Chains A and B, each alone.
Chain A
Amino acid sequence: MKEKLVVIGNGMAGMRTVEELLKIAPDLYDITVFGAEPYGNYNRIMLSPVLAGEKTIDEIMLNDEQWYVDNGITLHKGKEVVEINRARREVIAADGTTESYDRLLLATGSLPFILPIPGNDLEGVIGFRDIHDVDKMLEAAKDKKHAVVIGGGLLGLEAANGLKEQGMSVTVVHLMDTLMERQLDRPAAEMLKKSLEERGLHFLMGTETSAIVGKDSVEKVHFKDGSEIYADLVVMAVGIRPNIELAKRAGIHCERGIVVNDTLQTFDARIYAVGECVQHRGVTYGLVAPLFEMAKVCANHLAQYGIGRYEGSVTSTKLKVTGIDLFSAGDFIGDENTEELVFQDAARGVYRKIVVQDNRIKGAVMYGDTIDGTWYFDLMRDETDITDFRDSILFGQAHLGDSGHGDDNRVAAMSDSAEICGCNGVCKGDIVKAITEKKLFTLEDVRAHTKASSSCGSCTGLVEALLAHTVGGDYSTAPHLKPLCPCTEHTHDDVRATIKREQLKSVRAVMDFMEWKTPDGCSKCRPALNYYVLCAFPEAHTDHAQSRFINERVHANIQKDGTYSVIPRMWGGGTTPQELRAIAEVAEKYKVKTVHVTGGQRIALYGLKKEELPGIWRELNQAGLVSGHAYGKALRTVKTCVGKEWCRFGTQDSTQLGIDLEKLTWGSWTPHKFKMAASGCPRNCAEATIKDFGVVCVDSGYELHIGGNGGVKVRATDLLCNVATAEEVLEYAAAFMQLYREEAHYLERTAPWVERVGLTYIKERIVEDDKARREYAERFRESQKYAQTDPWAERAEGADQHEFTPLKVIG
């Protein structure tokens, strides 16, 4: 009979140990796992992105329940072990489930430390540790406004950022006077605080919490100095404490954690322990990299190979707040025996400090640009003598021996044993081997085959650079920022900035100036460039028809059989008998195959031959119908409901408002298509809350909503603000559209754009800064002067004739 291995805790360390064990000794044990949480095993690190709305729970599952079945593992999920009977070699769960073991693995993780202050058990006071906590926070964010996060360390800041992304107003209370004092020195911490404040977080530094008060649930937080603030959610993120109660009760020797030796055995030789619950050589850990190292060694001993020892880990830290790059490792403060090398560029927001002793790196802190973090970390762990390049070390690895060819060279220069993925302990050599042997081309492939970049994701840039270096050619080279397309190394933002700075007014001028790698771009970059020059210089750019997708080039939508569709504009979804008659006549005369009422409140004609288009347009024009731009990355439709004029619930004239919005914005080109709607009351019949810009009329005025999307990934809008008059609605719409036009990437809808830059940022530009809003709106109106000509009328008059006639007809 097989020996029985029981694992208590199905978290990251426990399950990693089981995975490692299955790799080397798949048939040795009958494995049973107890997990107090009601799921398979998930990537706890990614709870922060889940809270920030960047990932879903499904996306962070590591091993679903099927995995346990497939590997013959019995999973007791949702069952907490309450007793270990070492004499009978049994574990007993709260519900009475009992299992016997030959070997036992403890992987119970840790628990959030809850401050021993009055009110710490009130409803609305939580830690940040598991899915349950995240669910509670998301729930609270729905209808509550004020969150207080106690603790300005890694966890606290990630929680605060996530809650802010969820729309709460967040105050971080920190006992010390700088943030993340265990990972950052003062200058880096100040830079971090400044950028978090710019994103809308509030801080109370050097402040000690004395009590949490409230009747049934939290209402206020009191501080030692006598002050207080309102709160309807309090997140305690002041630290973690190894979860050792169970082991202690079973008489297993514990100090701060469960004490283990270099083979991860506790004082009871049948019982092993890994993860945050252990104390090894006096140290407890709170990051995954060391736990994964423990898992490897522990699995090796469970497999009875008896080789390998765990000798402790050196750790480094990164913060997972999108858009903020920081890195720290080792002793970054230093003392009288060490020297400091410091580089600071406040304008670019870059700071680096390296602490050196006897020409060896003892620690490093970086803020802003962290690409060299891994390099410093390796130099530190290998205790490399840096005498030879000490004077240039602050400029990074790219500076060594080349004239700045950047990250490609940087990864090339790394040794095969350099660690790329800290979470999973994957070295450059492993990745390169997998790429070449298994012929991998994408980041996803590399993740699947090596696990690199699959935990917290902060090494993604390096993995991409390695891919680029190993696969060569087509793969993008810049690790942090994605190039616009393979024809260039420049990013969207780079290109947009350069166009403005250098006054580049045509696609050709941009490609020449920015040294495009292909002679005339491709179907991805040319339309983007054409839009960018148009947006930057509405009056003076040269439009390049051949850089537009066919639909925009001929102002109709190509269909699967090569015919075209025609959709005229119906202002605010309204039409007239005269217009309907004209459509009917055209449909009959040109034998239109399908007449369809679109999802955008207008009528579409399908199956038209290209040659016929100008004629059809001429006839539609005569009835007053103009192009609906249903084919363009442009303003599409403004849906409305009948509103106050007819509806018994209507609060404002949503129909007229929709017409006015459409008259204001039609003809404008945008990074991706742009849709609007105006509903007459919160019943919202025009579906304004899944539009790029939506208006919901209310008694007191108008709610303005932004960033909604139907389509592939549905996203409900964020509330931008309320305004009182229809004039303001128009101004805000123009300003919002212009901000989007000027800053989004080509083919990025408002929904992902809003998520990328943050609602707070958009509010700052459009709502809080009256002057900025007026300027955006003014630029929008200015560019509309050049955009609002009906392209159909021009072509009916003979423009672009070559598009609509064959070169020659033979036979």
Chain B
Amino acid sequence: MQASNKNVSAAGDWVEVGKLDDIPQLGARVVRASGGDIAVFRTADDEVFALRDKCPHKGGPLSQGIVHGKRVACPLHDWKIQLDSGEAVAPDEGCAASFPVRVEDGTIYLSLTPNEGCPNK
């Protein structure tokens, strides 16, 4: 089992955060955690992803962006961030920490232990 797989929480610290239907398709909601806000996104085909709610550019709240495909356009300067990895789409560079999430029977579970790879600022 790999710690970096997004659907697996290495720490096993799954928290129930809400229902799939609480998030609009192509939208996002925020989970307030002690380590900082986490944005939980829902795509057109109901995939769910979680990223630190802070754009690698200048910290814009990604949860407020426009979701398209598996990307979100940051509301401040329109960088495109990859939802599955947290990586900025070239030519921009940088990444936001991603968090494991899974959906079971319409309920979303989130782990607060970020995947490896991107800095969790």
Residues on A lying within 8 angstroms of B by beta carbon are 518-523, 526-527, 545-547, 549-550, 558, 560-562, 802, 806-811
Contact = CB atoms under 8 A, between A and B. Distances in A.
A471 B80 CA distance: 21
Main secondary structure of the interface of A (DSSP, over half): loop
Given A546-B25, A549-B75, A558-B75, A810 B30 contact: no
Contact of B33 (A520, A523, A810): A810
Contacts of B73: 522-523
B69 A810 contact: no
Nearest to A544: B26
Contact of B61 (A527, A562, A807): A562
A490 B44 CA distance: 23
B40 A807 contact: yes
Contacts of A808: 15, 17-18, 31-32
5 contacts: A546-B66, A807-B30, A808-B18, A810-B31, A810-B32
Interface in B5-56: 15, 17-18, 22-27, 29-34, 37, 40, 44
Contacts of B44: 519-520
A560 B76 contact: yes
Given A526-B66, A549-B66, A810 B29 contact: no
A807 B66 contact: no
B60 A562 contact: yes
A810 B112 contact: yes
A526 B29 CA distance: 20
A518 B80 CA distance: 15
B24 A523 contact: no
B120 interface: no
B67 interface: yes
Closest 3 CB pairs of A and B: A523-B73, A807-B29, A546-B26
A35 to B, nearest CB: 43
Contacts of B64: 550, 558, 562
Nearest to B25: A546
B78 interface: yes
Given A546-B25, A807-B40, A810-B33, 20 more contacts: A518-B69, A519-B68, A520-B44, A521-B68, A522-B68, A523-B66, A523-B80, A527-B66, A545-B27, A547-B66, A550-B75, A558-B76, A560-B76, A562-B64, A807-B29, A807-B31, A808-B15, A808-B18, A810-B17, A810-B32
A546 B34 contact: no
B68 A807 contact: no
A809 B61 CA distance: 17
Contact of A546 (B24, B75, B78): B24
A809 B60 contact: no
A802 to B, nearest CB: 7
A546 B65 CA distance: 9
Q: Which of A522, A523, A808 has the most CB of B within 10 A?
A: A808
A636 to B, nearest CB: 20
Given A546-B26, A802-B22, A802-B29, A523 B76 contact: no
A520 B65 contact: no
A519 B23 CA distance: 19
A526 B68 contact: yes
A95 to B, nearest CB: 54
B9 to A, nearest CB: 14
A521 B61 CA distance: 21
Nearest to A521: B68
Nearest to B55: A562
Contact of B69 (A519, A527, A561): A519
Contacts of B75: 549-550, 558
A546 B18 contact: no
Contact of A520 (B32, B40, B58, B69): B69
Nearest to A519: B69
A494 B69 CA distance: 24
B107 to A, nearest CB: 12
Contacts of A811: 33-34
Contact of A807 (B22, B26, B58, B60): B22
Contact of B17 (A522, A526, A807): A807
A546 B40 CA distance: 15
A621 to B, nearest CB: 24
Nearest to A518: B69
Nearest to A525: B68
A662 to B, nearest CB: 28
Interface in B79-112: 80, 112
A187 to B, nearest CB: 48
A526 B27 CA distance: 13
Q: Which of B15, B67, B68 has the most CB of A within 10 A?
A: B68
A803 to B, nearest CB: 9
